[in-house]
């Protein structure tokens, strides 16, 4: 760890902009702007690259199921980089809701949503997140080894296209609460809505279990689904 006097933190939120590029054309789009394909960061890593002479922090991601990139750069050039990206075929503009739909179709979980901020990874049931038997010594490893799994992340398949808000309660047929929705999106690939939800501690609903999501007056029916691609 570093002594406080050795670290200086500057909040650059107001002066930086962020764009994300996902899909089959992500690599070719950045190459078209001057990046060498072999220099593009792998998922979970980052590099500082120049895209059309604009210096960017480029992070590799895979949350949409394929290779993608998160670009962080001087906000004064946001319009310029946006236009350059749209000139590289076949990219199209899309909002955060589209990324959520792609993430859902890929069955990708996200920190800050499916992983609750006040819980450790093992407590939240993240599949394949931590192997305590392979864990090396580091600050906090004792707490991770001792953490007991308390919740799991499960999926819900809805029959219609209605999307529910994060935090919406999920109940079984008897009215008992099972957990709360963390992410919900319309999946264009299968033309129905789906959701991820974190269960209450100790609750493990089986795939195919009928559930009701939403307020008591007009709950939305669905069924628990495995965390597989598209919730097909």
> How many Cβ atoms are within 10 Å of 35's Cβ, its own excluded?
21
3-state helix/strand/coil string of 79-118: HHHHHHHHCCCCCCCCCHHHHHHHHHHHCCCCECCCECCC
Q: In this predicted structure, what is the pLDDT of residue 133? A: 62
Find tokens 């998922």 and name the residue: 43
What is the DSSP-derived secondary structure letter of residue 21? E
pLDDT of residue 119: 64
Check residues 136 and 197 and name the one with the higher pLDDT.
197
Residues 191-197, mean pLDDT to the nearest whole number? 89
**Rounded-to-integer distance, Cα 30 and Cα 25, Å:** 9
Q: Using one digit for the tens of pLDDT, what is the confidence trace for 20-69? A: 999 888 999 999 999 999 999 999 899 999 999 999 999 999 888 789 99
Confidence band of 101 (pLDDT split at 50, 70, 90): confident
C-alpha distances (whole Å) from 99 to each of 14, 43, 94, 104, 159 are 23, 16, 8, 9, 21
Is residue 42 within 8 A of residue 28, CB to CB? The reply is no
**pLDDT band (50, 70, 90) for residue 108:** confident
pLDDT category at 117 given cuts 50, 70, 90 is low
* pTM exceeding the 0.85 threshold for the entire prediction: no
Question: For residues 73 and 54, what is the distance between their CA atoms, to the nearest angstrom?
Answer: 8
């Amino acid at each position: 760890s570093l002594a406080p006097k050795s670290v200086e933190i500057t909040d650059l939120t107001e002066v930086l902009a962020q764009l994300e590029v996902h899909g089959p054309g992500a690599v070719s789009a950045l190459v078209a702007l001057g990046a060498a394909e072999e220099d593009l960061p792998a998922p979970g890593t980052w590099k500082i690259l120049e895209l059309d002479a604009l210096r960017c922090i480029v992070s590799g991601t895979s949350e949409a199921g394929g290779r993608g990139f998160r670009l962080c750069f001087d906000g004064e050039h946001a319009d310029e980089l946006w236009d350059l990206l749209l000139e590289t075929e076949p990219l199209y503009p899309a909002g955060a809701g589209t990324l959520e739909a792609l993430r859902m179709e890929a069955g990708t979980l996200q920190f800050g949503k499916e992983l609750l901020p006040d819980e450790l990874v093992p407590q939240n049931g993240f599949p394949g997140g931590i192997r305590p038997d392979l864990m090396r010594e580091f600050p906090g490893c004792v707490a991770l080894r001792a953490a007991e799994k308390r919740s799991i992340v499960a999926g819900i398949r809805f029959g219609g296209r209605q999307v529910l808000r994060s935090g919406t309660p999920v109940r079984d047929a008897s009215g008992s609460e099972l957990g709360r929705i963390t992410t919900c999106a319309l999946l264009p690939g299968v033309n129905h809505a789906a959701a991820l939800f974190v269960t209450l501690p100790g609750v493990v609903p089986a795939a195919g279990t009928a559930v009701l999501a939403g307020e008591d007056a007009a709950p939305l029916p669905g069924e628990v689904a495995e965390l597989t691609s598209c919730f097909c």
